[in-house]
Structure 1
Amino acid sequence: MPSVDFHGYDASAGYTYGFCPEIAPDWLDLAATMAGSAPARASDDAPFRYLELGCGQGMGLCLLAAANPQGQFVGVDFLPEHVDHGRAVAQAAGLTNIQFSDGDFVALAQQWPAAFGQFDYVTLHGVYSWITPPVRAALVRCLGHATAPGGLVYIGYNAQPGWLGSVPFRHISRLLKEESNQPSEAVMQASIALFDQLAAGGANSFRILPGLKSRLAAVKRQANNYLIHEYLHEGWHPLWHSEVAKEVADGGLAFVGTASLAETLLPGALPPPLRATIAEQASSVLRMDVQDLVINQSFRRDVFRPATSSASVASDAVLDAMMLHLLKPVDGDSLTIATSFSEITLQMPAYAEIVAALGSGARSMGDLLALPAMRQQGRPNALQIIALLLHARIAGIGRSAPAPIQAVQGLNQFIANGSTRGRRYDHLAAAALGSAVAVTPDDLRLLDAWLAAEGRTDAISLTTACGADGAPAAGDTAITPESAAVFLDQTLERWRKLGVVA
Structure 2
Amino acid sequence: MPSVDFHGYDASAGYTYGFCPEMAPDWLDLAATMAGSAPARASGDAPFRYLELGCGQGMGLCLLAAANPQGQFVGVDFLPEHVDHGRAVAQAAGLTNIQFSDGDFVALAQQWPAAFGQFDYVTLHGVYSWITPPVRAALVRCLGQATAPGGLVYIGYNAQPGWLGSVPFRHISRLLKEESDQPSEAVVQASIALFDQLAAGGANSFRILPGLKSRLAAVKRQASNYLIHEYLHEGWHPLWHSEVAKEVADGGLAFVGTASLAETLLPGALPPPLGATIAEQASSVLRMDVQDLVINQSFRRDVFRPASSSASVASDAVLDAMMLRLLKPVDGDSLTIATSFSEITLQAPAYAEIVAALGSGARSMGELLALPAMRKQGRSNALQIIALLLHARIAGIGRSAPASIQTVQGLNQFIANGAARGRRYDHLAAAALGSAVAVTPDDLLLFDAWLAAEGRTDATSLAAACGEGGAPAAGDTAITPERAAVFLDQTLERWRKLGVVA
Interval of TM-score (by shorter of Structure 1 and Structure 2) = over 0.9
Secondary structure (helix, strand or coil) at the match of 2:454 reads: coil
- Using the aligned pairs only, state the percent identity: 95
Is the 1:132–1:234 Cα contact (8 Å) retained in structure 2?
A: yes
Is the 2:26–2:400 Cα contact (8 Å) retained in structure 1?
A: no
- Structure 1 window deviating more from structure 2 (396-405 vs 139-148): it is 396-405
CA distance in 1, matches of 2:347, 2:85: 45
The runs of 5 or more residues in structure 2 that have no matched partner are none
Q: CA deviation at 1:431?
A: 0.2
Secondary structure (helix, strand or coil) at the match of 1:400 reads: coil
CA distance in 1, matches of 2:35, 2:172: 40
Is the 2:426–2:438 Cα contact (8 Å) retained in structure 1?
A: yes
Is the 1:51–1:121 Cα contact (8 Å) retained in structure 2?
A: yes
Is the 2:445–2:473 Cα contact (8 Å) retained in structure 1?
A: no
**Cα deviation per residue 1:274-293 (whole Å; 9 max; x = unaligned)?**
11111111100000000000
**Cα deviation per residue 1:288-317 (whole Å; 9 max; x = unaligned)?**
000000000000000000000000000000
CA distance in 1, matches of 2:236, 2:259: 23
Is the 1:469–1:479 Cα contact (8 Å) retained in structure 2?
A: no
> Is 2:90 the partner of 1:95?
no
The verdict on how the C-alpha distance between 1:389 and 1:90 changes in structure 2, with shifts beyond 3 A counting, is same
CA distance in 2, matches of 1:40, 1:474: 40
Q: CA deviation at 1:470?
A: 9.0
CA distance in 1, matches of 2:106, 2:84: 21
Is the 2:441–2:474 Cα contact (8 Å) retained in structure 1?
A: no
**Cα deviation per residue 1:210-268 (whole Å; 9 max; x = unaligned)?**
11011001000000000000000000000000000000000000000000000000000
Is the 2:5–2:11 Cα contact (8 Å) retained in structure 1?
A: no
CA distance in 1, matches of 2:280, 2:68: 44
Q: CA deviation at 1:475?
A: 2.5
CA distance in 2, matches of 1:253, 1:466: 50
The verdict on how the C-alpha distance between 1:394 and 1:180 changes in structure 2, with shifts beyond 3 A counting, is same
Secondary structure (helix, strand or coil) at the match of 1:358 reads: helix
**Cα deviation per residue 1:370-393 (whole Å; 9 max; x = unaligned)?**
001000000000000000000000
Q: CA deviation at 1:457?
A: 1.1
Is the 2:400–2:434 Cα contact (8 Å) retained in structure 1?
A: no
TM-score normalized by structure 1?
0.98
**Cα deviation per residue 1:152-190 (whole Å; 9 max; x = unaligned)?**
000000000000110000000000000012100000000
> Is 2:345 the partner of 1:345?
yes
The verdict on how the C-alpha distance between 1:325 and 1:279 changes in structure 2, with shifts beyond 3 A counting, is same
> Where do 1:162-201 residues align within 5 Å?
162-201=162-201
Which position in structure 1 is the counterpart of 2:354?
354
Q: CA deviation at 1:468?
A: 4.6
Is the 1:469–1:480 Cα contact (8 Å) retained in structure 2?
A: no
The verdict on how the C-alpha distance between 1:240 and 1:369 changes in structure 2, with shifts beyond 3 A counting, is same
The runs of 5 or more residues in structure 1 that have no matched partner are none
Is the 1:161–1:293 Cα contact (8 Å) retained in structure 2?
A: yes
The verdict on how the C-alpha distance between 1:469 and 1:257 changes in structure 2, with shifts beyond 3 A counting, is closer
The verdict on how the C-alpha distance between 1:382 and 1:493 changes in structure 2, with shifts beyond 3 A counting, is same
Secondary structure (helix, strand or coil) at the match of 1:160 reads: coil
CA distance in 2, matches of 1:13, 1:333: 45
**Cα deviation per residue 1:316-374 (whole Å; 9 max; x = unaligned)?**
00000000010001111111100000000001111000000001111000000000100
Q: CA deviation at 1:6?
A: 1.2
TM-score normalized by structure 2?
0.98
Q: CA deviation at 1:400?
A: 5.6
CA distance in 2, matches of 1:490, 1:412: 18
Q: CA deviation at 1:469?
A: 11
Secondary structure (helix, strand or coil) at the match of 2:10 reads: coil
Is the 1:464–1:470 Cα contact (8 Å) retained in structure 2?
A: no
Q: CA deviation at 1:3?
A: 11
Secondary structure (helix, strand or coil) at the match of 1:469 reads: coil
How many corresponding residue pairs? 502
Which position in structure 2 is the counterpart of 1:445?
445
